[in-house]
Amino acid sequence: MICDLVARPAAARLRPARLGQLAVSVAAVPDRWHSLVRFEAARRWYRRLELSDDYEIWLLSWLPGQETGFHDHGDANGAFTVARGQLLERTAAAGRPQVASRVLQAGSFRSFGRRHLHSVGNVSAEPALSIHAYSPPLTAMRRYEMTGRGPVRAATDAAGQNW
């Protein structure tokens, strides 16, 4: 039997600024997603809202004290906007022990390239909601532990297996 193998073109990688626009535009229409929101005390709750060949969009809820730990997004660019409440983002760079922090209030957003290493969490007393966009869609997230010499990779979570 003869098979023709057709190469599928690689998914386009949307720029971080475009992902920021997508996240903000989804957050601006809460009627589209608000009924889906759940809060879980045992872990952060999340749900994918959109998936295409080029990008995906997620809705996340955050109870006080919930955080991601340091991670990157594999080979994806990304962005997120705070739809309700506030979140703290801590960023780190490979080989550097310094950590920078910023508080993101409702309505603010952050976009980043594929080498961005951060931790996001709710350090406020109120629940928070956020919308995240990634391009191409996530296939893996690498988790890191912070040491005196900076971040050290601790694990890799594969899409569909670990989240």
Per residue in 34-73, pLDDT tens?
999 999 999 999 999 999 999 999 999 999 999 999 999 9
- Count of domains for the chain: 1
Given a contact cutoff of 8 angstroms between Cβ atoms, the answer to whether 14 and 113 are in contact is no
- If you ran DSSP here, which 8-state letter would residue 23 be given? H
Given a contact cutoff of 8 angstroms between Cβ atoms, the answer to whether 19 and 135 are in contact is yes
Residue-level pLDDT at 95: 86
Domain of 139 in residue numbering reads as 16-147
Does a structural domain hold residue 1? Answer: no
pLDDT < 50: residue spans in the chain = 1-9
Residue-level pLDDT at 94: 84
Neighbours of 105 (CB within 10 A): 11
Three-state secondary-structure class, residue 74: coil
Does a structural domain hold residue 95? Answer: yes
Give me the CATH number covering residue 67.
2.60.120.10
Residue-level pLDDT at 10: 56
Q: Dig out the tokens for 55 from the structure.
A: 């990008």
- What's the rounded Cα separation, in Å, for the pair 92 and 151? 7
Is the alpha carbon torsion for 76, 82, 83, 86 positive or negative? positive
Whether this model's pTM surpasses 0.75 = yes
Does a structural domain hold residue 79? Answer: yes
Residue type at 36? L
- What is the overall mean pLDDT for the chain? 92
Does a structural domain hold residue 137? Answer: yes
Residue-level pLDDT at 2: 39
Q: What are phi and psi for residue 19, nearest 5 degrees?
A: -65, -40
